[in-house]
Structure 1
């Protein structure tokens, strides 16, 4: 997979929205790398920096592009725009 098309999702173990986002990605056969920030302060800081200050999870990225959270991902699905993840 091209680095520009790599999907990365920052998550927390007890987050229902993280679970929903991962299920949606899986249902569309979209490969992703999960970064759990529960006990990793450096990864949490990295996520906040990349997400322009957002501290909630999930935070989803396509390459260096910030997609947003679970609601944003579901909005892309409603608009039939998830194919951007498979290019």
Structure 2
């Protein structure tokens, strides 16, 4: 069973673009939560959830897998599909 994927992003973020492209390439649907750079509450909420201060922040189910480089590393090691529930 597929797990819900959530990705926190911000405008003009190349790593956000790469993360979304990787997920789209895998045929995964995801919820994108766009945060504006000046929205301190949204950033604080995202940081409280993930422990991260940067974007993208990628969640598979309730698990934060990190950012783009973490997502790409999971794909490279062949572990991403299992996390996605495939």
Q: What does residue 66 of structure 1 align with?
A: 64
For the residues of structure 1 that align with 2:61 and 2:40, how far apart are their CA atoms? 22
Q: Deviations over 1:37-69 (max 9, x none)?
A: 1154432222100112x1100000011111000
Counterpart in the other structure of 1:48: 47
Task: Quote the Cα distance in structure 1 between the aligned partners of 2:6 and 2:43.
Answer: 13
Could you tell me the TM-score, scaled by structure 2's length? 0.87
CA RMSD, aligned part only? 1.7
- In the alignment, structure 1 residue 78 sits paired with structure 2 residue 76: yes
- Alignment gaps of 5+ in structure 1: none
Asked if structure 2 preserves the Cα contact closer than 8 Å seen for 1:30 and 1:86, the reply is: no
TM-score, with length taken from structure 1: 0.86
